[in-house]
A and B are shown apart, each in its own frame.
Chain A
Amino acid sequence: MSVSREEVLRIAQLAELDVEEEVVPTLAEQMSRILDYAAQLSAVPANGTVKVFVPGPDAIRFRIDEVTPSGLAFGPEEFAPDFKEGFFVVPKLGQFE
């Protein structure tokens, strides 16, 4: 499984993170290696007869519908990088609004 340069860039876009041009080839190669390694999973028959397994409780617990304290020791104004008049502030989407 070879991951192309274009795919690296497409995935980086989906994941909203910059990758410097210089590292794209290395990333493509490393991702290819990892995915090749992961391809061993084809040992599982493709007909889907094996059920998946996830540990943990078998069923979701229902929480009672009541308003509870926030559990915040301090509010967003203390940790937000840009906070004005009670709102989180972010730059506009730009031309893609």
Chain B
Amino acid sequence: MSDAKAVADRLVKAKRLNALLTPPKELRKSLNTQIVAARPTGVLYGMPVAVKDNICTLEFTTTCASRILEGYRSPYEATAVAKLKAAGALIAGKTNCDEFAMGSSTEHSAYGRVLHPLDKTRVPGGSSGGSAALVGAGAVPAALGSETGGSVRQPAAFCGVVGIKPTYGRVSRYGLVAFGSSLDQIGVFGRSVHDAARVLSVISGRDPRDSTCEDRDPLRLPTVPESLQGFVVGLPKEYFPSELDPAVRRACERAIRMMKELGAAVREVSLPHTPYAVPTYYVIAPAEASSNLARYDGVRYGPRFNGAADLRSLYRATRGQGFGPEVRRRILVGTYVLSSGYYDAYYRRAQQMRALIAQDFRNAFDRGVDLLFTPTVPTPAFKAGEKLADPIAMYMSDIFTVTANLAGLPAMSLPIGRVKGLPIGGQLIGQAFLEDEMIEAAYALERVVPATDEA
């Protein structure tokens, strides 16, 4: 049971990271109120959880790190947030992110970039960089983020924390501001597998308000296993290319060795359509986003840019000025691929390719593999500004993570080593709705892997 002041102090101490969008005064005031109202019998009683700013809360604003929602206060809260509160958790502020979750470095926020907790010249990853940085800095034990193409796992790997993306349909999306509807899921950051898994368990489960949320009970947490005896772990060869950063490779090899020592059977598998994953993602996600972001028009909420002129000018100025360049670019690409004449060549083809990618995973799992293990990101955290010139360079950092979103599978990153002090993440990909097996393996690995040792 933490007291409001201590929670707030820890968060305010990490101010320099620019990870928290909530002003300290508002944060303190809210925490004082929340702590009184929190349910003492809740399983997360008193646990402060920071929430990515694209998830609707009644406390604080919800801006999605965009000017187009500057100052917006949501009149309702996300189902996941309501569940956290019902379990006694404290909503410990809203975290900075890439605008509308579009990005891999949290450099595309309208409110400034987020600093990596260990090296201020580097990015924490994205789009959930603020949540990852706060957990990485020890300012808060857990935080909610969101995933569309790796936006929880990649920053988790960069910041040296645990990040879990559930199976698509495991956690309600009601109240998660939509980006790529068929890819989006709320994910969780934690200092440990246990912290992240506990929070995931609480926010998971059926929600009649979300038609894509499966009618299932909340996730039941596994116990920490003695060994990995009986687990078959697959290593997809496409995720260990020759150009892989040597330190990342060394850290993975060490983790694989340890899994074997724990009794796991390890074998190589192939997911042949992996090279098509990033282009597939960069057709589907912008297409869905272009439609999901059509509602931001200055009519019913948010600020108006050029509100006095005629209707079309209101739309075009609000959207032209309210959205940042990355969001604008994705809306344009998305609009293009859905437009008449291009739908079959791009969007439909991408949905077909998606089926082939999902089939690759099914084939691997059908051959007796329980889990897959891969590096989370090809490199450790890169320098701020390094990948801004070419959008495709930025997209490539998602290469190992987008497949799980395309296939709707659960996946997580846990820290498995360091290179020159920078964290490296290892990724586990599980079977649909078998998060418990994935978490069980993560528990075992976490206990033995020297996460803060140089690889």
Contacts and interface: CB of A to CB of B under 8 A. Distances in A.
Q: Do A and B come from one complex?
A: yes
Contacts of B432: 55
Contacts of A33: 390-392
Nearest to B273: A43
A84 interface: no
Nearest to A33: B392
Contacts of B215: 57, 61
Nearest to A73: B75
A17 B323 contact: yes
B443 to A, nearest CB: 26
Interface string A71-85: 111111011111000
Given A61-B215, A81-B307, A91-B310, A44 B73 contact: no
Q: Chain B: interface residue count, which band?
A: 35 or more
Contacts of A54: 182, 351, 354
Contacts of B335: 11, 14-15
Interface secondary structure of B, over-half rule: helix
Contacts of A78: 73, 75
B351 A94 contact: no
A11 B339 contact: yes
Interface in B331-380: 331-333, 335-337, 339, 345-346, 348-358
For B214, B323, B352, the residue with the greatest tally of chain A CB atoms inside 10 Å of its CB is B352
B392 A53 contact: no
A93 B311 contact: yes
Contacts of A81: 298-304, 307
B317 A94 contact: no
Contact of A30 (B168, B311, B391): B391
B211 interface: yes
A78 B350 CA distance: 41
B12 interface: no
Contacts of B24: none
B319 A92 contact: no
A82 to B, nearest CB: 7
A75 B301 CA distance: 11
A54 B352 CA distance: 10
A3 B356 contact: no
Nearest to A7: B336
Given A38-B346, A40-B279, A91-B309, A30 B319 contact: no
A74 B280 CA distance: 41
A11 B336 contact: yes
B320 to A, nearest CB: 3
Given A80-B300, A88-B299, A93-B310, A34 B72 contact: no
Interface string A55-67: 1110011010000
Interface in A13-45: 14-20, 23, 27, 30-31, 33-35, 37-44
Nearest to A45: B352
Given A40-B279, A56-B212, A90-B314, A17 B169 contact: no
B316 A17 contact: yes
B308 A91 contact: yes
B355 A51 contact: yes
Contacts of B275: 40
Contacts of B321: 18
Nearest to A40: B279
B276 interface: yes
Query: Which 9 A/B pairs are nearest by Cβ-Cβ distance?
Result: A55-B408, A18-B320, A94-B310, A53-B355, A52-B351, A17-B319, A55-B168, A56-B212, A16-B315
6 contacts: A14-B335, A34-B391, A44-B353, A55-B432, A81-B300, A81-B301
